[in-house]
Amino acid sequence: MPAPSLLIPFVSYALLMSFTPGPNNISCSLLGLKQGYRASLPYLFGISAGFFAVMLLAGLLTEFFTQNYAVIAPWLKWIGVVYMTWLAVSLFLPSKKSTGRTSAFTFPGGFVLQFLNPKGVLYGITIYASFSSIVTGSLAKTLVSSFLLAVVCFLAVTTWSLVGSSLSRWFENPRFHLVFNVVMVLLLGYSVYSILAH
């Protein structure tokens, strides 16, 4: 599959994974409500730095496995497909809101959270295994892609921090929640199809 044809599924999956509810976004929404965006910045920067580290490790390890253990790459791709399918199903399951004390919302707290966040770790493995032809192949490509994904992560947590309160109220509307979930499932389905079909 030519790299350009993977670009739309890659961007769709990156935006989906970054902006949908998860430990990062929900905690940033909560923190934004409690102490405002400006006071939340250290935590947001910690999340982004930790996310960059996780993406870089995922990219480097995926590249290593792909180049040295070609038999492992298809398994990593299938893990990614299974995870994306699970994510699509999970959008319709009851979710638990993250809770935590404001004192824990610091740069180190945000950084460490990324290594304990299954969504982020699996995201890194999935995106680098599934879209390796456009995000790996050299250290420079892996560094650049990790940085760009971290920028998207920062934009996502910033968005949730700034508009968390109003977004939370919208999500209390069952109709809005259903429409949102259907759109997310369609985007995930497109990404899964693109990976499996090629």
Question: Given this model, what pLDDT does residue 99 score?
Answer: 45
> pTM score, two decimals?
0.69
Contact 43, 154 (CB under 8 A): no
Question: Given this model, what pLDDT does residue 115 score?
Answer: 82
Question: Given this model, what pLDDT does residue 101 score?
Answer: 46
Sequence-separated contacts (24+) of 15-19 with Cβ below 8 Å: 15/152, 16/184, 16/187, 16/188, 16/191, 17/119, 17/123, 17/127, 18/149, 18/152, 18/153, 18/155, 18/156, 19/156, 19/159
Place of tokens 């809101």: 97
Question: CB-side exposure of 15: number of CA atoms within 13 Å?
Answer: 11
Q: What is the pLDDT along the chain (198 residues), one digit of tens a residue?
A: 445 577 888 888 899 889 887 778 878 877 777 777 888 899 999 999 999 999 999 888 876 655 654 565 577 567 667 766 776 676 666 654 444 445 567 899 889 888 877 778 778 888 888 887 788 778 888 899 999 999 999 999 999 888 765 655 676 678 877 887 787 677 777 766 766 665
Cα gap 109→103, rounded to integer Å = 9
Contact 100, 27 (CB under 8 A): yes
Q: What's the count of helices (H) and strands (E) in the chain, helices before strands?
A: 9, 0
Cα gap 143→56, rounded to integer Å = 6
Cα gap 67→89, rounded to integer Å = 33
CA-nearest of 11, 10, 52, 47 to 26 is: 47
